[in-house]
């Protein structure tokens, strides 16, 4: 049975033969007059006309003086190339990188990229084709593309193969691009300005998460990879901007899960002179716009079978109360219950109690257990002040913040609130978070004195919101790793690769 090494050795032999013929198997240029989708869509106008197409060889069939090659470009359709001896380039007229076909067709393999010129036609079987006049090789592939790829680890490690073998995976990432494009379009149309802020920060803030640490040689100083876009965008409100957003990568040094990746893309917007009620209305419009543009529907069946319907324009998502849920489901008064009672409740409901758990983490675990039952969409409201160091309080002194989280599919997908702009209050909350860090909570927020100083110059009242591409993964019905093109994996080199490159002494 032939091995990968056998196939590769044979293709290397063909590569050398091409070079001996004076053919450059890796030219630096290519010509294309039409893509494959256009050939099919405009066949009646293009029939009998000369065109030049490019693509990757999917299959090759030879029948004596005839040959048929199927190619594919980045569209969803394939195109047949009809090759007949006598119709194509002769030896004496061979051009740069041109092959004499079908005589030299044995030097081609599936996976090779080629450029073909000829007339548009239909074969006797009625298949739209190109009657080939000339053929150039653009890239000689040294490894055969497999016909199927089912091993999950292999698929994620060699995603470039996965997307060729499984076209639905490739289409997913086209939709991912549309998802972020729609997000950007909506916000720009609503008057927001996109500002790309720094990824390296002297102080990691804006979220409860452990940061990655790196070192900048030029300053001889450690920096954190941002865990949030929040605080730089708020500084822009201090600077006089009224509607700003940022889309880009953020980094949280935590474990993988079906819903989380340590590195992922996210978006945050901040809107001066708006409150959380206006923020909820904007969020409803935004999520519907994104769904329409990305999937063409507002109704979804998620990976676990839950059904989510984002409804018609103008409809408002229901609201659920955090403090109300904990009282109703667990008989927990979030303001007057001891940590010991909360942890007993955790045990009663089969939830883990960890040494570093505090009141905030423990209450959050109880909420998350109930949250799994919510198909949504709903807005979670009535979140206590002690659980949110960056949000304004609701009026009346009830100890609750003007925060809302979009929940669907059992998960919190957006977090938003009326932004705290009182520098004295902000400093006090930072100090409370610092006490939690000093007690061993690595995810509690750091004291950012520069941000406090910025607030002292004055930041207008504002609403802000952030979400990650977890919304996309959820509505696609895939896990986090399946939802990005190249997820991080533990570094490893398989035995076949080591065999193919013995001189490299790969470990």
Q: What is the per-residue pLDDT across 205-259, written as a single tens digit (0 to 9) for each?
A: 887 788 999 999 999 999 999 999 999 999 999 999 999 999 999 999 988 888 8
Query: 463-480, pLDDT tens digit by residue?
Result: 999 999 999 999 999 999
Whether 96 shows a pLDDT value over 80: the answer reads: no
pTM: 0.91
What pLDDT is stored for residue 94 in this prediction? 67
What pLDDT is stored for residue 201 in this prediction? 93
Query: 34-46, pLDDT tens digit by residue?
Result: 999 999 999 999 9
Strand-pair category, 243-251 with 193-194: parallel
What pLDDT is stored for residue 91 in this prediction? 62
Rounded Cα distance between 260 and 262, Å, is 7
Please choose, from the candidates 458, 457, 455, 433, the residue with its C-alpha nearest in 3D space to the C-alpha of residue 446: 433
- Strand blocks (E) in 31-127: 50-63, 66-72, 78-84, 98-99, 113-122
What pLDDT is stored for residue 281 in this prediction? 97
Please choose, from the candidates 365, 380, 389, the residue with its C-alpha nearest in 3D space to the C-alpha of residue 444: 389
Please choose, from the candidates 184, 137, 167, 160, the residue with its C-alpha nearest in 3D space to the C-alpha of residue 30: 137
What pLDDT is stored for residue 92 in this prediction? 58
Please choose, from the candidates 80, 162, 77, the residue with its C-alpha nearest in 3D space to the C-alpha of residue 126: 80
In order, the DSSP letters of 225-267 are E-S-SHHHHHHHHHTT-SEEEEEEEEE------SS--SEEEEE
Using a 10 angstrom Cβ sphere, with 0-12 exposed, 13-18 middle and 19 or more buried, the burial of residue 311 is middle
* Mean predicted confidence (pLDDT) in 147-156: 91
Please choose, from the candidates 483, 468, 475, 469, the residue with its C-alpha nearest in 3D space to the C-alpha of residue 173: 483
Helix (H) or strand (E) holding 150: none
- SS3 call for 395: coil
pLDDT band for position 93 (cuts 50, 70, 90):
low
Domains in the chain, ordered, with CATH?
4-139 (2.40.50.140), 163-318+376-483 (3.30.930.10)
What pLDDT is stored for residue 289 in this prediction? 98
Q: Give CA 473 to chain center in angstroms.
A: 8
| Distances, alpha carbon 171 to alpha carbons 139, 199, 294, 480, in Å | 24, 29, 11, 16
Helix (H) or strand (E) holding 326: helix 322-330
Q: What angle do CA 394, 396, 402 make, to 5 degrees?
A: 5
For the chain, the average pLDDT equals 92
Rounded Cα distance between 45 and 26, Å, is 33
Contacts of 41 (CB under 8 A, 6+ apart): none
Cis bond upstream, residue 229 (ω within 30):
no
pLDDT band for position 390 (cuts 50, 70, 90):
confident
């Amino acid at each position: 049975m032939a091995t990968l090494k056998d196939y590769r050795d044979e293709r290397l032999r063909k590569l050398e033969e091409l070079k001996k013929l004076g053919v450059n198997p890796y030219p630096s240029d290519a010509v294309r007059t039409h893509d494959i989708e256009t050939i099919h869509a405009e066949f009646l106008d293009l029939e009998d006309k000369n065109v030049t197409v490019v693509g990757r060889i999917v299959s090759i069939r030879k029948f004596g003086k005839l040959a048929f090659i199927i190619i594919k470009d980045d569209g969803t359709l394939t195109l047949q190339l009809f090759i007949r001896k006598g119709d194509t380039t002769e030896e004496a007229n061979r051009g740069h990188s041109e092959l004499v076909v079908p005589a030299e067709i044995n030097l081609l393999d599936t996976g090779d990229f080629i450029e073909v010129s000829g007339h548009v036609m239909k074969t006797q079987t009625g298949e739209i084709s190109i009657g080939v006049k000339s053929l150039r090789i653009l890239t000689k592939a040294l490894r055969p593309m497999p016909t199927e790829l089912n091993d999950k680890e292999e698929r994620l490690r060699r995603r470039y193969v996965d997307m060729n073998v499984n076209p639905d995976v490739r289409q997913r990432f086209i939709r991912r691009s549309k998802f972020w494009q729609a997000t950007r379009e909506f916000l720009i149309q609503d008057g927001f300005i996109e500002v790309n802020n720094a990824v390296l920060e002297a102080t990691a803030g804006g979220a409860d998460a452990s940061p990655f640490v790196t070192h900048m040689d030029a300053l001889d100083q450690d920096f954190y990879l941002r865990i949030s876009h929040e605080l730089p965008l708020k500084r822009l409100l201090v600077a006089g901007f009224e509607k700003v957003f940022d889309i880009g990568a953020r980094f949280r040094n935590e474990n993988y899960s079906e819903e989380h990746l340590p590195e992922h893309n996210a978006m945050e917007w901040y809107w001066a002179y708006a409150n959380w009620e206006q923020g909820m209305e904007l969020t409803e419009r935004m999520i519907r716009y994104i769904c329409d543009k990305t999937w063409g529907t507002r109704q979804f069946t998620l990976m676990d079978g839950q059904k989510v319907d984002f409804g018609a324009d103008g409809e408002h998502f229901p609201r659920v109360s955090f403090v109300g849920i904990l009282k109703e489901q667990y008989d927990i008064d979030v303001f007057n219950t001891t940590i010991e009672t909360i942890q007993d409740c955790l045990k009663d409901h089969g939830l883990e109690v960890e040494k570093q758990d505090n009141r905030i983490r423990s209450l959050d675990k109880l909420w998350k257990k109930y949250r799994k039952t919510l198909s949504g969409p709903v807005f979670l409201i009535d979140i206590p002040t002690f659980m949110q160091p960056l949000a304004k309080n609701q009026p009346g002194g009830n100890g609750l913040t003007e925060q809302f989280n979009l929940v669907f599919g059992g998960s919190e997908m957006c977090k938003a609130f009326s932004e705290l702009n009182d520098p004295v209050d902000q400093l006090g909350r930072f100090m409370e978070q610092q006490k939690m860090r000093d007690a061993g909570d690595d995810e509690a927020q750091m004291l950012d004195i520069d941000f406090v100083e910025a607030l002292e110059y004055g930041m207008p009242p504002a609403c802000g919101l952030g979400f990650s591409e977890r919304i996309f993964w959820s509505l696609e019905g895939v896990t986090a790793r399946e939802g990005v093109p190249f997820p991080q994996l533990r570094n490893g080199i398989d035995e076949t690769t080591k065999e193919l490159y013995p001189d490299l002494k790969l470990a």
